[in-house]
Amino acid sequence: MINVHYFTFNGFQENTYILSDDTKECVIIDPGCYSNEEQQILANYISDNDLKPVKLLNTHCHIDHVLGNNFVANKYNVGLEMHEKDLPTLHATPEYGQTFGFNIDKSPEPTTFLEEGDVVKFGDSELHVLFTPGHCTGHIVFVSHDDKFVINGDVLFRGSIGRTDLPGGDYETLITSIKTKMMTLPEDYEVFSGHGPSTTVGFEKSNNPFLNQ
């Protein structure tokens, strides 16, 4: 069984996820830890729980989701895994960060490109990759069918959807991704978002105003 733990980091209030199972192997998804204090919080959780990070994953590469990429990659000697179409977003983050006053370390280049249908394995667990563009060009989500949840980045929020006014965003593409990928999952699947509280597929089907127009 996968344990899902998250921290809310940086000025964008981004959710950084650590997924682990009984083997103590873990994956770190979208590390937003920016300050030394936030980096220490992440490291302390991993140390205190005797976890072994084996993968660094990005759902997408907007600045708030990659602020800790360099820290995690170097501290735990793990390679970055992401979708190839989000490389331009990743490469733009240092310059983009300056506009928000972030002096960020350049993210390492990816060692693995993930595509829909891929299976990310750690410990005794599996995460299935879905390609969900619209919030940005190369967005992916990670689905655990065994434990019935999705780490969905900024595709879907409780009662809302990801913004589409940033480079690479497209409203119709995002809606299509949500309806054809997220909403085809069973209704009891929990959806863990990049910001704010979690939700479920069923709740969004019934209540999300963007999906019921």
Question: Where exactly are the structural domains of the chain?
Answer: 3-211
Its pTM stands at: 0.97
User: Is the pLDDT score of 106 beyond 90?
Assistant: no
Give the confidence band of 212 by pLDDT, cuts at 50, 70, 90.
confident
Q: State the sign of the Cα–Cα–Cα–Cα dihedral 3, 62, 76, 110.
A: positive
- CATH class of the 3-211 domain in this structure: alpha beta
User: Is the pLDDT score of 99 beyond 90?
Assistant: no
Task: Give the DSSP letter string of 95-161.
Answer: HHHHHTT---PPPPPEEEE--TT-EEEETTEEEEEEE--SSSTT-EEEEETTTTEEE-TTSEETTEE
Q: Are the C-beta atoms of residues 27 and 53 closer than 8 Å to each other?
A: yes
55 closest CA partner among 130, 140, 152, 127: 127
Residue 10 DSSP one-character state: T
Residues 161-177: tens digit of each pLDDT: 999 998 889 999 999 99
Average pLDDT for 98-118: 89
User: Is the pLDDT score of 104 beyond 90?
Assistant: no
